[in-house]
Amino acid sequence: MNLTKQFFKYVSQNIFGLLGTSCYILADTYFISQAAGTDGVTLLNLCLPVYNFIFAIGSMVGLGAATRYAILKAQGDERCQRYFSNAIFCACVLSVPFLLVGIFAPGGLLRLMGGDAGIMALGIPYARIFLMFTPFFMCNYIVSAFVRNDGDPSLAMVATLSSSLFNVVFDYIFMFPMGLGLAGAALATAVSPIISISICSRHFFKKENSVQFVRQRPSARLLGQSCQLGISGFVGEMSSGVTTTVFNFLLLGLAGNVAVAAYGVVANFALVATAIFNGVAQGAQPLVSECYGKSDKAGARKLLILGSCTALVLAAVLYGIIFGATDALVGIFNSESSARMAQFAHMGMRLYFVGYFFAGFNIVAAGYLSATNRPVEASVTSICRGMAAIVACSLVLSRLFGMNGVWAAFPASELLTAVLTLFLLLRGKKQTA
């Protein structure tokens, strides 16, 4: 199979898998909006940054370790086998603080994220349950990344889609027929990564499997090497969390809970959009790492061009859908028919999603830089788009233009990052010429 066909195979399967993950979050939002109205959507949006932080750590460890594995495997280096077991152990250790918060202080966490007394009373059972399943969320990233990098992207896709389908179905069953309410939504979400891990584990019993669980002492050095190449995945996930946190506090000050609920609608569709572009970046990563390991620079550059063009086309299709169906999409989550929420969310969708014309390229480029063992440049790109630019733009533009400035901060920050990223890529090309 030639490189272009491999690219579209890996990317399409990874996009479908990640779309499944993001769609179950949409299902969560829909069912919660039906059960608890605007307060329920506000609660979910306050919890999203915590989800993002958990996923960010899992992504950093999992994608980074799997990338190291793919590069060393392509070079015929047996040390590649040390990364899987080390990643699993370290993820379990890193999940301990989340477990402790879930057991002892879920209310304090919600207060820290901006929740008032009503939101805290509504959300404590929800937060407690999903925090206590943190090890499974993190390990799911690791297992699926290694399965994908070991040449089995189809199984990783099936696992992700199956876990997402489970979540959607049992969201409804737990919340309504069983009467568990928001705790039921959290329970369905918490069990879904266990389904995914179980299905991915089939790969380890196949003849084609080359991933081994090695008995060894956990190594901080191996973790550090993994995190170097996983930093773009970490910041990519964290960017949603940072954006959501900053926007939540700005919007609370501008228009209160209804504005946060409106942003909850925007943020949930943004998760779907980000999943699409992460699918392009993560789908291409095993192929880029293999080309890099074999010193095939032309192949790696071809994959970067394919990824960037694919991201641009997808951004155009996505914005066309958002622009043409804004009111219908907002109405799905507006169970109370709030005119203010609909007005805020309508403008938010149309301004915010312009940013994906630039964000798609930034996500693909950051993934390419990590996959070709350029962690510093990948980190600069990721940190700029994920934290520095978005915080600066949102603070400045919200003062100048109010709520419209908050929505416009995302495209402005992604545009600035795209200029920086293009410079880093061209500089790297000159250095290797």
Return the amino acid letter for 352: Y
In a domain, 433, yes or no: no
Q: Is 402 helix (H, G, I), strand (E, B) or coil?
A: coil
Task: Identify the pLDDT of residue 39.
Answer: 85
Q: Is the pLDDT of residue 13 over 70?
A: yes
In a domain, 91, yes or no: yes
In a domain, 28, yes or no: yes
In a domain, 156, yes or no: yes
Q: Which of 14-23, 25-34, 108-117, 160-169 is predicted least confidently?
A: 14-23
Q: Is the pLDDT of residue 177 over 90?
A: yes
By residue range, what is the domain housing residue 390?
Answer: 3-428
Inter-residue contact 19 to 279 (CB < 8 Å): yes
In a domain, 151, yes or no: yes
Task: Identify the pLDDT of residue 430.
Answer: 58
Q: Is 218 helix (H, G, I), strand (E, B) or coil?
A: coil
Most confident stretch, 76-85, 93-102, 265-274, 336-345: 93-102
Task: Identify the pLDDT of residue 358.
Answer: 96
Task: Identify the pLDDT of residue 1.
Answer: 64
Paired tokens of 33:
């909006």
Task: Identify the pLDDT of residue 428.
Answer: 67
Question: Rounded mean pLDDT of the chain?
Answer: 89
Task: Identify the pLDDT of residue 338.
Answer: 84
H helical segments located in 75-116: 82-94, 96-104, 106-112
Q: Is the pLDDT of residue 25 over 80?
A: no
Paired tokens of 29:
């939002």
Looking at the structure of the chain, the number of domains it has is 1
For 82-91, what is the mean pLDDT? 94
Q: Is the pLDDT of residue 229 over 90?
A: no
Cα 245 to Cα 125, 135, 171, 223, 292, distances in angstroms: 21, 23, 25, 28, 37
Of all residues in the chain, the percent with pLDDT exceeding 90 is 53
Distance separating alpha carbons of residues 404 and 222, to the nearest angstrom: 45
